[in-house]
Amino acid sequence: MTEEKRAQKTLLIADDEQDIVDLVSFNLTREGFHILAAADGLESLKLIQKHRPDIVILDWMMPGMDGLEVCRRLRQDPETSRIPVIMLTAKSDTVDKILGLEMGADDYVTKPFHVRELVARIHAVLRRHEAGSREDTPQILTHRGIRMDLWSYRITVDDRPIDLTPREIKLLTFLMKHPGRVYSRDQLLDSVWGDETFVEPRTVDVHISRLRTLIEKDKDKPPYIYTVRGIGYKFADSE
* Cβ-Cβ contacts under 8 Å for 116 (sequence gap 6 or more): none
Residue that is last in its domain, among 134, 164, 185:
134
Residue that is last in its domain, among 105, 134, 163:
134
203 and 128 in a common domain: no
* Cβ-Cβ contacts under 8 Å for 201 (sequence gap 6 or more): 185, 186, 189
101 and 173 in a common domain: no
Residue 88's pLDDT is 86
Helix (H) or strand (E) holding 6: helix 3-7
Q: How far apart are CA 185 and CA 196, in angstroms?
A: 14
What's 181's domain CATH number?
1.10.10.10
Q: How far apart are CA 113 and CA 40, in angstroms?
A: 20
pLDDT in tens, the chain (239 residues): 333 444 689 999 999 999 999 999 999 999 999 999 999 989 999 999 999 999 999 998 888 888 888 988 898 888 888 899 998 887 666 666 676 677 778 888 888 888 999 999 999 999 888 776 655 455 788 888 889 887 777 899 988 898 888 889 889 999 998 989 999 998 998 888 876 656 788 889 999 999 998 888 776 677 899 999 889 999 988 65
129 and 28 in a common domain: yes
> How many separate domains does the chain show?
2
Q: Which range marks the domain in which residue 211 is found?
A: 140-235
Residue that is last in its domain, among 134, 161, 179:
134
Using DSSP, state whether 193 is helix, strand or coil.
helix
Rg (CA), the chain: 19
> CA angle at residue 203 from 84 to 59, to 5 degrees?
35
Model-level pTM greater than 0.85?
no
